[in-house]
Structures are given as C-alpha cells and as structure tokens.
Amino acid sequence: MDRKTIMNDEGRRSAFDAVISLLAHNRQQAASPSYQTIEDLSDALQKRQETVQGVRVCRVPHSTAHGVFSRSWKRIPRWELVESLWATLYAHAELKGRPTGAMFSLAQVCDRYREVEMAAPRVLGQSRQPQPVAAAPVSAEHRQGADLLVSPMDWDSCLSSTQGTAQSAGNGGDRRGIREVDAQFVAELMERSSNAPWRPYRDVIPDWFLLYVMAEPQLAEIRTYAPLRIPSLLQTSEYARLAITRDLPGIGERDLQRRIELRLCRQDILYHPGSPKLWMIIHERALWEVAGSRPVLRAQIRHLLSLAAHSNITLQILPADEANEAFADGPVTVMRFPERHIDDMIYLEQREHALYLHRNRDVTYFSKLFSSLLVAALPTGDSLHFLNELL
C-alpha cells in the first residue's frame, strides 16, 4: 500500500492567509465588488474568452469568493481560480475607473501562493515536524489574545516619559477622566489586533514601529507632516519599492516584497466604512526626494490626485520657501483616537527609531506646530493644481 500523506493544514492556512490579504486589498481598491458581481463578471470574461493582464479568466463561483474573503474556505482553491479572482478584481477596477497602480500584481500573489504549495507535507509514521512556512511566521504567542507579542520592547520606555503634567505645561484645565496612553493601553491595542490584516507581516515590522501599526486602524484622525517622503499610507507599490530600497540598500528581494505588501495592506483603512480622517501636509521636496524613475513619480502624483477626491483625505503642499527646519529630519504624526477620553499621541519617526509622545505638554506643542504648517501650506485647491502641474 502506498504511504499516504497529510498536509500540514495549519502551515498551509497561515501561508494562504497572506494570499487572502493581498486579494482583499485588491478588492478594496476595485470598489469592493460583491461575491455575486465577481461571479457574474468572471463568467462574462470566460464566455468572451477575454484575457486580463495576460490571464485567461475562468468563472469564479460566488461560494469560492465568499470562502476566500470570509476565510471560511474548507480547501485551498486551485491556482486557476486564484489568478482568475485576481484578474476579475483588476477588470472590475478598470470598469469602475479606479486606479490599478496601488493593487498587488499577479506576480506578487503568485509568489505567496507558491509558498502555500511549498508547505512541507508530513508523511504518516514520521515524527519529523514540518518546517515553518516563511510567508506567514505567525507563532503561537502571536495568536493568543493578550499574549500576542513576545518582544524585548519595554513599552513604558518606548512611550516617552517626558516630565510635566497639564498643569505644569500651563494648561490648568480639568483633566479628570482623561485616560493617558500607557502600557496598559498598549496591551489592549495588542488584544484588539489579534486578527489584524498586518499580522502575517509581523516579521518585517520593527519593534519601534509596532505600536503605530497596532494603533493606526483604531484612529479617528491622522494628521501627518511629511518633509522627505510621500506618507506611506499614500504610496503606490512602485514608489514604496524605491523608498524602501533607498532606506535599506542591502535588503533582499523577499523582505522587500513583504515590506511593500505590508505598506499596501495598511492602506486598506482608507477605504473601509468609518475610515479615519487624514490630513497630510507634504513638503514640496518630498515630491522629488525619491529619484530614479520619472514614470514612478508621475504615477505617484496621479495616485495622490485620486486619493484627494476622497472626502476623508485632505492634502496640502508646503512650498520649499515655507519649510520649518524643526521638522527637517523626519515625519511628524498627530494620532487621534475616536474615544474622547483618550489622549492624542505624537509619533516622531526616524529611520531606525521612533518616539511616541503622549504628555499633554508635548501634544500641545506639536499640535500647534502642525497648525502653523497648515496655515503656511498651499490651500487644498492650489495644492491639487500644484500636483497637476508636475505631470
């Protein structure tokens, strides 16, 4: 009798979760077509024998689309269905006039799917454990509620312990009932992030960046001044590739791809119901800082113009002669939570380090500086005209 094999189901599930994250992002970019719309459009493409970006589309049943996006599938779909689902989402984006530059490519989806196929089988009678799947190194401690993170990070030291209360800062207002962002609050963010879409990419998230990634989907408002680069929430995949390779010149292709995927995965919050309000002030220099490809820059600018049409996104350009040198070294983000009793937090990012300021004195200082930049920047209409002139 031939020896039977059973697949390492957990490893394959974890690997396929990474595939789903890419497809779910593309679905958001394609205006979130319903499962029935996906079936109908793929069926029409199959009957017309049309190709989409080189893919000969086959019909994607309603049940398959539902199983993938609800993560309720019982067996992993064959590649023919996965690539047809990708192509159908791409075609739907084009039909709706949505930009496709921010969508994951078929090659990126294919790379993740290959790692599903490479999940090592376990032969009955063998005691050797399968090797972990590189595409989704989600260990047990990353999946357990409040014990999501096992890390040397000391959150009390990460959260700036700048001395001074509201009274010492000169604000004598009554702050009773106001909850500060502290280590306990961070623990609650971890618990809320147990099934977050960015989870499969934990291996490429530096410890100093993790708090921001956890908090970002929970925010009601994000105000950022970007002196050197387009903010990561607004980047196209090709712009992100140039920016990451410039910051990390020795990075390998696999880690580079995963960092790009993480960046685009985070952008899904822009398209969800109840998405945060973004107010982005971009220094004129940031539009030229990532050199090397004029087509990439033009595609990025078109993407910015497309995003500016969203009611929850406000873009302003700060002319070079209006720059504040206090912000020359890195971006500044004011993070506002939806709960009124939770303090704002300031995120100061450097290349390999970050500070999270939450004391009232610091929040007030940086909020006022952001307001001064808002006044100095071009109005929104003039900013869009400025971007159009760069095309």
pLDDT digits (tens, 9 = 90+) for 266-275: 999 998 878 8
91 has pLDDT over 90: yes
Q: Highest-confidence range of 7-21, 194-208, 223-237, by mean pLDDT?
A: 223-237
Confidence of residue 220 (pLDDT cuts 50, 70, 90): very high
Q: Residue 44: what pLDDT?
A: 93
Supply the pLDDT for residue 271: 84
**Among 35-39, 149-153, 187-191, 322-326, where is mean pLDDT lowest?**
149-153
**What is the residue extent of each domain of the chain?**
5-122, 153-160+176-389
Q: Quick check: 132 pLDDT over 70?
A: no
Query: Which pLDDT does position 115 carry in this prediction?
Result: 78
Residue 35 has pLDDT above 60, yes or no: yes
Choose between 178 and 33: higher pLDDT.
Answer: 33
**153-160+176-389, CATH topology level:** Endonuclease; Chain A (3.30.870)
Residue 272's pLDDT is what? 80
Of 159 and 78, which is predicted with more confidence? 78
Q: Which of the listed ranges 135-144, 168-177, 251-260, 349-358 does the model predict with the highest average pLDDT?
A: 251-260
Q: Does position 173 have pLDDT exceeding 50, yes or no?
A: no
Q: Residue 86 has what pLDDT?
A: 94
- Predicted local distance difference test score (pLDDT) of residue 308: 93
Average pLDDT of the segment spanning 2-18: 58
Give pLDDT, residue 119: 58
pLDDT at 145: 29
When pLDDT is cut at 50, 70 and 90, the band that residue 351 belongs to is: confident
Query: Model confidence over 288-345: pLDDT tens digits?
Result: 866 567 889 899 999 999 999 998 999 999 998 765 554 556 789 999 988 877 888 9
Q: For residue 383, what pLDDT is reported?
A: 95
Q: Quick one: pLDDT at residue 266?
A: 94
pLDDT at residue 3 is higher than 80: no
Percentage above 90 pLDDT, the chain: 35
Residue 180's pLDDT is what? 60
Instruction: With CA atoms as reference, report the closest residue to 18 among 62, 71, 89.
Output: 71
Average pLDDT, the chain: 78
pLDDT score of 283 more than 70: yes
* Whole-number pLDDT of residue 181: 63
CA distances from 79 to 49, 100, 178 (A): 18, 22, 52
